[in-house]
Amino acid sequence: MPTPEEAETLHITAGVPVLTITRRMLSGDRPYEVCRDIVIPADRITLDYSSDL
């Protein structure tokens, strides 16, 4: 569920689920950066995501 700030920014009510995309950058098996990149209302989208490494 969204935080109050996310709900206000996204113009949704507190009961609408959100999808949060978090990116983790690793060096070997150790994280060196964690970014909470995207918060999206889950009732409005279909997510199709791929990443080539």
Instruction: Return d(Cα 40, Cα 44) in angstroms, integer.
Output: 8
- Can you tell me the distance from the alpha carbon of 16 to that of 41, in angstroms, rounded to the nearest whole number? 7
Position 45 scores a pLDDT of: 87
Helix, strand, coil percent values for the chain (each to nearest 5): 15, 40, 45
Q: For 22-43, how does the pLDDT look when each residue is reduced to its tens digit (9 = 90+)?
A: 888 888 888 888 887 789 999 9
* pLDDT > 80? residue 53: no
pLDDT at 52: 76
- The pTM (predicted TM-score) of the whole model is 0.63
CB 2 within 8 A of CB 20: no
Does pLDDT of 4 surpass 90?
yes
Q: Which helix (H) or strand (E) holds 5?
A: helix 4-10
